[in-house]
Amino acid sequence: MKKLLAVTACPTGIAHTYMAAESIEKAAKDRDVPIKVETRGAVGVENELTPQEIAEAHAIIIAADTDVDEARFAGKPVVKVAVSQGIRIPGELIEQALAKTPSAGSPAASSEAPVKENAARRGVYKHLMNGVSNMLPLVVAGGLIIAISFLFGLHPAEGSIGAKLASIGSAAISMMVPILAAYISYSIAGGKLGLAPGLVGGLLATQVGGGFLGGIIAGFLAGYVTKWMIKYIKLPKVMEGLKPVLIIPLLSVLIVGLLMVFVIGTPLSWLMNGLTSWLEGMGQANAVILGGVLGAMMAIDMGGPFNKTAYTFATGLLASHIYGPMAAVMAAGMTPPLGIWLATVIAKKKFTKEEREAGKVASVLGLSFITEGAIPFGAADPLRMIPAFMIGSGVTGALSMLFKATLMAPHGGIFVLLIPNAIGNLLMYVLAIAIGTVLTAILVTWFKRNKPIEE
C-alpha cells in the first residue's frame, strides 16, 4: 500500500496550518490511504517526519506558504501547493500524490497547484510571508507587554514596573523590522547565509527612517544579492570553505549596507514619513475609506494574500506609533466567523446540523481573531458568502476608523479588550464589531439558499 506524507504551514501558524492538516488527513482516511502530516505552526514543528518515514513514503504533499525544509525530500515525488489548497481540494492532492512515480524526481520537479497561479507572484508572497511569520511573535509579545504596562498608567514613572514593562515591549517591537528583513532574505537565499545581510539591512532601514516598508525592501535586496553570490561566486576548491564563512557574509552585508545608507535610505525615509504624515493627518472621510478597504481585504480570502497584506500593513504601522489601522483590521477579521455563528443561530433552518456545529466553533475562533473560522462556509458557497463577509468586514473597519478606535496589540481578539488602555475608545470599538457581526449574519442569511435540515 502506498504511504503518503504531508507538511502544512501558514504564515501565522495558527489556523490554516491545522485546518489543512485536518482536511488532508480526512481525505486520506476516506480513501484508506496511510498518511502522516507534519504541521509547522506557531508552536513549532509537530508530528515531525523522520528520515525513515521519508525514505518509505511514496510521495509527499507540501501545502505551505512558508519554508518547510524541502531539501530533506530530495529524490521523492512532491505535490506542492499553497496551504489554502490543502483546505479546499485535499482529495485532488491525495490523488495527485498517488499518481506520482518514483522517477518523478525532486522538489525542483514537483507538480504545482491544480489551480495555476503566477509562479513569480507566488514566490514573492511566500518570501514576504516567511518574514511576517517569524516577525509575528515579536510583534504580538511586544504589543501585549506594552499594553500590560498600561495597567500602571499611560505614562508610568521612570524606573517603575510599568516603565520597565514598556521598555521590554519596546525592545521586542524594535526587533520587528530586522527580523522581518532577515527571514525574507533567508527564504530567498535558501538558507542561513541570507540572515546576516537581512538583519543588517533591516536594522539600517529603521535607522534611516524607512520603517517596515524599508525592512521589506531590505529583505528582498539582501536575499537576491546573497542568492546571486551563492550561484556565481566561484573559488578554487581549496578556498571553497571560505565562501560561506567569509566571502559571502562580508560582501553581502557590505553591499546591502552601502545601498541602504547611500542609495535607498533617503527615498525610503521620505516615503515612510509621507505615509505616516498622511495617515496621521487624513480627514475623517479618508480614514473611513481606508478602514473599509482594510476591512474588506481581511474578509476576501480569510488568511490568504489579501488578508495577510492588510494585516502586515497595519502591524507594520505599530512601529511608527500609528494604531488606528490595527484596530480596524482586528475588528474586521473577527466579524466573518462571528457573523456566521450568529447566522446559524437566527436562521437554523438554512443550515445543516453539521454547519450549525461548525458555527459554534467559528464563534470561538472569531472571538480569538482567527478569521479562518469562516473558511468552511466561504469555500462551500463562495459566490454568496464571500460578498457577505466583505461587506460586513468593510463596514466594521470603516466604523472602527470613524470612531477613532486604536489598538496597541496586534492579536488577541476579545482577550485584548480586558487589558486597560490597550484599546482607545473601547465602547465604540465593541459597537463596531457588534454592528459588523449583525450585518454579516443578516447578509449571510439573506444570500444563502434555503436548505433542508439534515438530521
Which pLDDT does position 179 carry in this prediction?
93
> Can you tell me which residue has the cell 433542508?
452
Quick check: 219 pLDDT over 60?
yes
Range 133-146 average pLDDT: 78
* 222-234 pLDDT, tens digit each: 999 999 999 888 8
Q: For residue 340, which of 279, 306, 299, 281 has the smallest C-alpha distance?
A: 299
Tell me the C-alpha to C-alpha distance, in Å, between residue 289 and each of 170, 286, 314, 402.
30, 5, 15, 9
Tell me the Cα Rg of the chain.
23
One-letter amino acid at 126 equals K
Give the mean pLDDT of 29-48.
88
pLDDT interval class at 295 (50, 70, 90): very high
Cβ(331)–Cβ(405) below 8 Å: yes
How much is the average pLDDT of 40-53?
A: 85
pLDDT for the residue numbered 132: 79
Task: Give long-range contacts, CB 8 A cutoff, 24+ apart: 154-163.
Answer: 154/421
Average pLDDT in the 117-142 region?
73
Measured in degrees and rounded to the nearest 5, phi and psi for residue 352 equal -75, 170
Among the listed ranges 154-158, 238-242, 364-368, 424-428, which one has the minimum average pLDDT value? 154-158
pLDDT value of residue 393: 95
Average pLDDT, rounded, for the chain: 83
Q: For residue 156, what is the DSSP state?
A: P
Helix, strand, coil abundance in the chain, percent, nearest 5: 70, 5, 20
Estimate to the nearest angstrom the gap between the alpha carbon of 52 and the chain centroid: 32
Q: What is the pLDDT of residues 162-212, one digit of tens each?
A: 788 888 888 888 888 899 999 999 989 888 899 999 999 999 988 887 777
Distance of alpha carbon 317 from alpha carbon 307, whole angstroms = 16
pLDDT of residue 279: 67
Average of per-residue pLDDT across 252-259? 94
The predicted pLDDT at position 380 comes to 73
**pLDDT tens-digit profile of 257-274?**
999 999 888 888 888 777
pLDDT band, very low/low/confident/very high, at 115 (cuts 50, 70, 90):
very low
Kindly state the cell numbers that stand for 15: 489556523
Give the per-residue pLDDT at 280.
64
pLDDT of residue 156: 63
Measured CA to CA, the distance from residue 152 to residue 412 in angstroms comes to: 20
pLDDT for the residue numbered 455:
43
DSSP string, 210-243: -HHHHHHHHHHHHHHHHHHHHHH----GGGTTHI
Closest CA to 389 of 326, 289, 293, 295: 295
Sign of CA dihedral 409, 412, 414, 417: negative
The yes-or-no verdict on residue 359 having pLDDT over 80 is: yes
Tens digits of residue pLDDT in 275-288: 777 766 666 778 89
- The number of angstroms, rounded, from the C-alpha of 153 to the middle of its chain's C-alpha atoms is 32
Task: Compute the distance between CA of residue 64 and CA of residue 130 in angstroms, rounded to an integer.
Answer: 10
Nearest to 411 by CA among 398, 401, 424, 422: 422
Rounded average pLDDT over 410-425: 78
Query: Residue 36 corresponds to which cell in the numbers above?
Result: 502522516
Range 95-124 average pLDDT: 59
Task: Tell me what pLDDT residue 105 has.
Answer: 46
Q: Which domains does the chain have, with CATH numbers?
A: 4-109 (3.40.50.2300), 119-279 (no CATH), 284-447 (no CATH)
Q: Are 401 and 324 in contact (CB under 8 A)?
A: yes
CB atoms within 10 A of CB 103: 7
Residue 116 has pLDDT above 60, yes or no: no
Give percent above pLDDT 90 in the chain. 34
Main-chain phi, psi angles of 61, to 5 degrees? -105, 125
pLDDT band at 356 (very low <50, low <70, confident <90, very high): confident
Q: What is the pLDDT of residue 195?
A: 93
Q: Catalytic positions, please?
A: 10
Quick one: average pLDDT of 41-50?
A: 83
Per-residue pLDDT tens for 60-107? 999 988 778 788 888 889 999 888 888 888 999 999 999 887 654 444
In percent, how much of the chain has pLDDT > 70? 89
